[in-house]
Amino acid sequence: MQRPLDVPRTADEVQDVVMSLSGDRYRTEHAGHRIELVRDNVAKTLSLLVDDEVVASKRRWWPRDLELHATLDVEGAPHALAAYEHVEMVVGWPTRTQDSIELDGVPLTLTVVG
């Protein structure tokens, strides 16, 4: 159910609306760490965040396949963290993207936030 426009919104709700207009945000959690993949269409970046800190980022002037890599420390043990953006093209024009995050090569379930 939608709230009237005059009802105050939380900061997270405002951020979700802004992100839906200017990009996408995918979120998952692992061992108490929040992991996010953020596509910012205004700044033209794709970023991988762990606990609200950018651990990997690339510019994306035009939609294209990108990979981001980082390391996630869980209880002192390093784990390989990778994020992927795959762009499907039709006659040279991007039609949609498939985004994913993997931990040690195992895909994580993502929730679309914005």
- Residue 27 backbone phi and psi in degrees, to 5: -135, 145
Output the pLDDT for position 63: 81
Q: Where are the domains of the chain?
A: 11-112
Output the pLDDT for position 91: 85
DSSP code for 108: P
DSSP code for 7: S
**Residue that wins the pLDDT comparison between 114 and 22:** 22
- pTM for the structure as a whole: 0.78
pLDDT one-digit tens code per residue, 56-102? 999 988 888 999 999 999 999 999 999 999 988 888 787 888 899 99
8 confidence band (pLDDT: 50, 70, 90): low
CA distances from 47 to 3, 4, 5, 40, 77 (A): 31, 33, 31, 8, 23
Q: Which fold has domain 11-112?
A: Lipocalin (2.40.128)
Output the pLDDT for position 30: 94
- Please report which residue ranges of 7-91 form alpha helices under DSSP H: 11-22
Residue 38 has pLDDT above 60, yes or no: yes
